Structure 1
């Protein structure tokens, strides 16, 4: 049942990314909802299962760009592996740390993807990275931050709990 739920979450995120967030972008920049879903799935599943979810997400994204077939599947699988290693080595509980991990994951993903997309033409790669990837990573990590704060607010105990999570107040 959990696997079916995860597949439906992947489908919903990709549908939202191609419809709603495709229209409502900020200066041509869209968030990477697929990366957000991958971050959540890697946090809630095992090692191999997270990599499989990354491969599935990437393969579905590759259907949109068949001339680069396999590039997204490779980069999302690699990102699932790297995110799993980060999760093993660090405790990612503070909201700002979660947002930084999302920012860093988006940056690494975009760098790897742009290497294939531009065929290692560094001038185009750097131009695309600066124009789209940096702001897209900020947008994606901001959305992750909002989702985590709202989730913690509704599930864990309200405003006081969220403020303590934001600023790490200990009693």
Structure 2
């Protein structure tokens, strides 16, 4: 995948997240489409590209949100690298496995995010974070991932999972 195409996808997913899924939020919880896209592309392309995709997705979020510029970039870059480590170690044809990866990495991403916010002086309890919105976001991400994965897997591998 070219870098220009990746930029297009991340911008598109961010816009969909902020428009469509803002209206489909359940109790204020919406999926993290940037995380889903980062994990899927990382899973298909490996750790170095995964870190790049994470950095790109996080940068898109940071530039549009304007809060803590660099925080999403760093957190998504770490998450993308971790997802990329799994490339070649599991069968990418399993449609459900990327959902499991996204589910777990949602908690890891949020753990890093809350930890870095605490380092910046914004106190958030990890227990509060892990029992608040994180489980709902993880489930929402898990449910959407197979559909998005199917589209990207076909594009990248040229066949059905």
Task: Give the TM bin, normalised by the shorter chain.
Answer: 0.7 to 0.9
Query: Which ranges of 4 or more aligned residues in structure 1 deviate by more than 6 Å?
Result: 120-123, 150-153
**Residue in 2 aligned with 1:162?**
none
Unaligned runs of 5+ in 1: 158-164, 166-171
Shift, 1:74, TM fit: 0.8
From the superposition, tell whether residues 69 and 121 of structure 1 become closer, same or farther in structure 2 (CA, over 3 Å).
Answer: closer
Higher helix share: 1
Is the 1:32–1:140 contact (alpha carbons within 8 Å) kept by the matching residues of 2?
A: yes
Q: Aligned residues, how many?
A: 157
Partner of 1:84: 84
CA gap 1:16/1:49 in 2 versus in 1, 3 angstroms: same
Larger Rg: 1
Q: Is the 8 A contact 1:95 1:149 kept in 2?
A: yes
Summarize deviations over 1:18-52 as a string: whole Å, max 9, x none: 11111221111100100111122213435423212
Correspondence 1:5-24 to 2 at 5 A = 5-24=5-24
| Cα drift, residue 132 of structure 1 | 0.6
1:123 deviates by 6.2
Map Cα deviations across residues 112-170 of structure 1 (whole Å, 9 max, x no partner).
111122448886332122111111011011001234467889x867xxxxxxx7xxxxx
- RMSD (Å), alpha carbons: 2.8
Compare relative contact order (CA 8 Å, sep 6+) and give the higher one, 1 or 2.
2
1: CA distance between counterparts of 2:14 and 2:124? Answer: 30
Contact 1:6 1:41 (C-alpha < 8 Å) held by counterparts? no
**Contact 1:102 1:144 (8 Å CA) reproduced:** yes
Query: Which secondary structure does the structure 1 equivalent of 2:132 belong to?
Result: helix
State the TM-score, normalized to the length of structure 1. Answer: 0.77
CA separation in 2, counterparts of 1:54 and 1:103? 16
Match of 2:2 in 1: 2
